[in-house]
Amino acid sequence: MADAGAPAALEAAGLRKTYGDFVAVEDVGLSLAPGASLALVGESGSGKTTTARMIAGLEAPTAGTVRFDGRVLPGRRARTAVRGSFAGDVQMVFQDPYASLDRHQRVADSISEVLAHHTDLRGSALARRTAELLDQVGLTAGQARSLPRALSGGQRQRVAIARAVAVRPRVLVLDEAVAALDVSVQAQIVTLLRELREQSDTAYLFITHDLGIVQHICEDIAVMHRGRIIERGRTLSVLERPGAAYTRKLIDSVPRRGWTPKRGATA
């Protein structure tokens, strides 16, 4: 678990992103201690994915900074080697397991490639580490030799997770990483993510629209609405005693036992 005195794994401050006149993200700041787990929750258009992509270096912030262990993330114009040196700082897992793997590359090769690029592992040591990672995410040797099309959505998401944790990143950004999966498979991936976090110091930034799943992965939560973080705190206390009216509405909209759909203001 996080040590209060340790430097933050991630420190984002004053993040802002505009597209023309449209402000997608406004004044978002967040900090993650090593091994911490923060959920960034919001509906479509809330700015949660844009925030995630700025933190992962996939979007340039209009304003604000992203720091990993004190180092500032370089812009998109930085040299490949400089950008590559941040691989161990942040990795990302995307929503669609069918779109995030190369369909011509065997699963084990997609892991080995990342390891060969970012570590000194070669030959049998490389193969050993690849096998270890695939085993860690619950894939068999047979599945390791197959192409992505032979795997189910849940299995592909396991590959994407193995590839992301291969370089032991300080921060893993999970953008709706379980949203596209069947309910029964979703629970498997949530369990896997919990196990991986217990075994490492990697901090999670878990982007989701699903309030129900948050408490199963994250101790902390930040709720985004219209580009801003409108509420943050410990997950259980925010879910039990939300401070913002919007958070309350979000919680009340989740179908559960005894729930009936209610009509709010007309659209």
Partner 1 sequence: MNHMETPLLAFEGLHITLPVRGEHRAVVHRVDLTVPAGGAVGLVGESGSGKSLTARSVLRLLPPGARVGGDVRFDGASVTAMDAASLRALRGSGAAMIFQDPRAHINPLRTIGDFLTEGLVTTRGQRQGAATARATDLLREVGIADAPRRLRQRPAELSGGLLQRVMIAAALIGEPRLLLADEPTTALDVTTQAEVMAVIDEAREQRGLAMLFITHDLALAAAVCDSIAVMYAGSVVEQLPAARLHDASCHPYTRALLAARPDPGTGARPLRAIEGRPLSASEAGPGCAFAPRCPAARDLCTTDRPLPERTGDGRTACHFPLLAGADDAAPGTERTVRHG
- Window 39 to 58, contacts with partner 1 (CB under 8 A): 43-44
- Does the footprint of partner 1 cover residue 219 (CB under 8 A)? no
CB of 79 to partner 1, least distance (A): 40
- Does the footprint of partner 1 cover residue 155 (CB under 8 A)? yes
For residues 10 and 201, the answer to whether their CB atoms sit within 8 Å is no
Structure tokens at 117: 């690029």
Cα–Cα distance, 85 to 195 (Å, whole number) = 27
Pick 71 or 191: Cβ nearer partner 1:
191
- Does the footprint of partner 1 cover residue 237 (CB under 8 A)? no
Cβ contacts of residue 75 below 8 Å, gap of 6+?
Answer: 60
DSSP-assigned beta bridge partners for residue 41: 208, 223
- Does the footprint of partner 1 cover residue 211 (CB under 8 A)? yes
Residues in the chain: 267
Pick 82 or 236: Cβ nearer partner 1:
236
Structure tokens at 213: 């799943």
- Window 163 to 202, contacts with partner 1 (CB under 8 A): 182-188, 190-191
Pick 122 or 152: Cβ nearer partner 1:
152
Burial environment of residue 80 by CB neighbours within 10 A (0 to 12, 13 to 18, 19 or more): exposed
- The residue range among 53-61, 76-84, 118-126, 211-219 that interacts with partner 1, by the rule CB under 8 A, is 211-219
- Does the footprint of partner 1 cover residue 140 (CB under 8 A)? no
CB of 240 to partner 1, least distance (A): 9
CB of 153 to partner 1, least distance (A): 8
Handedness of CA 188, 193, 195, 196 (dihedral sign): positive
For residues 246 and 225, the answer to whether their CB atoms sit within 8 Å is yes
Instruction: Determine the 3-state secondary structure of 1 from DSSP.
Output: coil
- Does the footprint of partner 1 cover residue 267 (CB under 8 A)? yes
For partner 1, the binding residues (CB under 8 A) are 43-44, 152-155, 182-188, 190-191, 209-216, 236, 239, 249-257, 259-264, 266-267
